[in-house]
């Protein structure tokens, strides 16, 4: 049985985007899209030009691939799903740890906080929302980097080159240092940082994985050293339990009615 006929302009544009996405990473030419959508090549040409102007498609190798705007929409949608899955667990962690808990994701070489839950004293919670920090020097960043393989890390942070701007107390002065730290994070299942990112500040992080096992986010707690340093490892173990439950909630098979 044939599927529903797409008559609206939006439906026809979506059909083109879907055809391009389905062929990814192979760029699609207008002739390819005309064949896959069973439409006239002239219609495809006009629609593709419009979608390129909107950032929904982009040209590559005499064809088109999915554009940056699609990836941005997908990222925001998935981050909203992450926050929805994590909010309750983060609230429970705040109650158990007595400290602000952050949910972070990796953007390039930086980590950004997409959600925070805070106790009454609210240690710097608002100042971290949406703020980026270098991945190499933060516990959450190192946790997120642990999802990459060694070769990827070496390409991002060359092993024999200093990391520009590394703080004085940072233990990752070059790519080789960082790789050793990330390997330790993988082995232990959590990352801790003591005054490397900022004097007087300590932090611990654990990975949040999707249902395929890929690291998609990190749970992080950061607090004054005088108050929290003895609690870093126990906090990491507590966050690990919560991260496992968040990961389970991200499994689409668990969300079917």
Q: Break the chain into its structural domains and give their ranges.
A: 9-66, 73-254
- Please give the average per-residue pLDDT across 52-80, as a whole number: 88
Read off the DSSP letter of residue 137: G
d(CA 116, CA 106): 16
Q: Are 204 and 233 a contacting pair, CB within 8 Å?
A: yes
Provide the 10 A C-beta neighbour count for residue 106. 20
**pLDDT per residue as tens digits for the range 81-137:** 999 999 999 999 999 999 999 999 998 899 999 999 988 765 544 456 677 899 999
Region 9-66: CATH code: 1.10.10.10
Q: Are 52 and 17 a contacting pair, CB within 8 Å?
A: no
Q: Which residues, 6+ apart, have CB-to-CB distance to 184 below 8 Å?
A: none
pLDDT for residue 68 is more than 80: yes
Instruction: Please tell me the predicted confidence (pLDDT) of residue 74.
Output: 80
Instruction: Please tell me the predicted confidence (pLDDT) of residue 73.
Output: 84
DSSP H helical ranges for 24-149 = 30-37, 41-53, 68-97, 125-128, 139-145
> Please, which pLDDT band fits residue 204 given cuts at 50, 70 and 90?
very high
Tokens found for residue 37 = 């959508």
- Is the C-alpha dihedral spanning 106, 109, 111, 114 positive or negative? negative
CATH architecture of 73-254: 2-Layer Sandwich (3.30)
d(CA 144, CA 218): 6
Cα Rg of the chain, angstroms: 22
């Amino acid at each position: 049985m044939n599927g529903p006929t797409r008559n609206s302009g939006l439906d026809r544009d979506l059909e083109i985007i879907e055809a391009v996405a389905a062929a990814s990473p192979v760029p699609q030419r207008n002739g390819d899209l005309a064949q896959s959508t069973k439409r006239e090549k002239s219609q495809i040409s006009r629609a593709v030009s419009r979608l390129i102007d909107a950032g929904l498609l982009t040209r590559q190798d005499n064809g088109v691939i999915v554009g940056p705007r699609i990836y941005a929409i997908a990222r925001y949608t998935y981050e909203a799903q992450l926050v929805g899955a994590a909010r309750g667990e983060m609230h429970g962690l705040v109650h158990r740890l007595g400290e602000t808990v952050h949910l972070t994701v990796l953007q390039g070489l930086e980590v950004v906080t997409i959600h925070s839950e805070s106790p009454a004293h609210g240690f710097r919670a608002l100042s971290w929302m949406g703020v980026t920090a270098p991945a190499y020097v933060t516990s959450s960043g190192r946790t997120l980097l642990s999802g990459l393989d060694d070769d990827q890390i070496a390409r991002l942070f060359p092993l024999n080159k200093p990391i520009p701007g590394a703080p004085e107390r940072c233990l990752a002065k070059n790519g080789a240092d960082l790789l050793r730290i990330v390997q330790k994070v993988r082995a232990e299942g959590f990352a801790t940082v003591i005054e490397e990112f900022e004097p007087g500040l300590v932090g611990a992080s654990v990975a949040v994985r999707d249902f395929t096992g890929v690291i998609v986010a990190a749970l992080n707690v950061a607090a004054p050293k005088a108050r929290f340093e003895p609690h870093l490892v126990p906090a990491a173990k507590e966050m690990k339990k919560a991260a496992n439950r968040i990961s389970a909630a991200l499994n689409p098979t668990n969300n079917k009615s």
